[in-house]
Amino acid sequence: MKKVILASTSTLYNGDYLDYLIPILSKHFSGCKTLLFIPYARPSGISHDDYTKKVSEAFAKINITVNGIHEYQNPIEAILKAEAIFTGGGNTFLLVSQLYKNKLMTVLKSTIEDGIPYLGTSAGSNIGGMTMNTTNDMPIVLPESFETLGLIPFNLNPHFLDANTQSTHMGETRETRINEFHTISNIPVLGLREGSWLEIYGENITLKGDLSARLFRQNEPAVELETNTNFSFLT
């Protein structure tokens, strides 16, 4: 049975890293003593070692020891032997490129589907969808493929922002960009606001957090869905 949390962000405004999720993660990773961290997305160019250290400090609060996948000579074996896995945020293009380069996408997908508890935040949540095509990130590298883990039957747009009617910014809104995606794809997209996450346990996909999320489908008006919505209707 899948045990997955896909969160829009790791950190809320003025909060410490993962703090708002710690009570949830304590239950999600119950019984786990160690966690394998995938630091490939490297937010702001942080090193793999420094990123892993930051994650280690957060998980120490729930008595879980963190090891970075870059520390292993055989990263495939590291995934296969992991008690729990976390992929952090950063640049989704870089993350997906590294997963393919190290031949990890398929083994990561099968390991999670076999029941190893998984957490993704931001870019680490983006890869939970069918493709990474609805990321907000700059394409700093070209991955082998845009196809990702497919843990849910739709795509995510983490950090979803509503249009600010008072802004003088003339660029595209998130909604505009998602609508552009739907001119070429029929994959549904969920705009996930800050502080919201999905819990995927078995076949149930449930929205959690205080805010609603916006669901976009090709040739249909976008709809707001309240917290605790079950997305099994999209399967």
Which tokens in the block code for residue 172? 């595209």
Catalytic residue among 122, 125, 182, 196: 122
For this structure, is 10 an active site residue? no
> H-helix or E-strand containing 97?
helix 92-101
10, 137, 182, 196: the catalytic one is 137
Q: What CA–CA distance (Å, rounded) separates 175 from 123?
A: 19
Active site residue 122: yes
Q: C-alpha distances in angstroms, 179 versus 43, 44, 122, 152? A: 27, 28, 20, 20
DSSP state of 48: H
CB 220 within 8 A of CB 167: no
Q: Which residues have CB under 8 Å from 110's CB, separation 6+?
A: none
Q: Can you tell me the distance from the alpha carbon of 208 to that of 201, in angstroms, rounded to the nearest whole number?
A: 13
Does residue 30 carry a catalytic annotation? no
End-to-end CA distance of the chain: 16
Catalytic-labelled residue, pool 26, 48, 56, 159: 159
Per-residue CA distances from 162 to 10, 29, 193, 198, 212 (Å): 20, 32, 9, 19, 12
Give me the active site residues, please.
Answer: 122, 137, 159
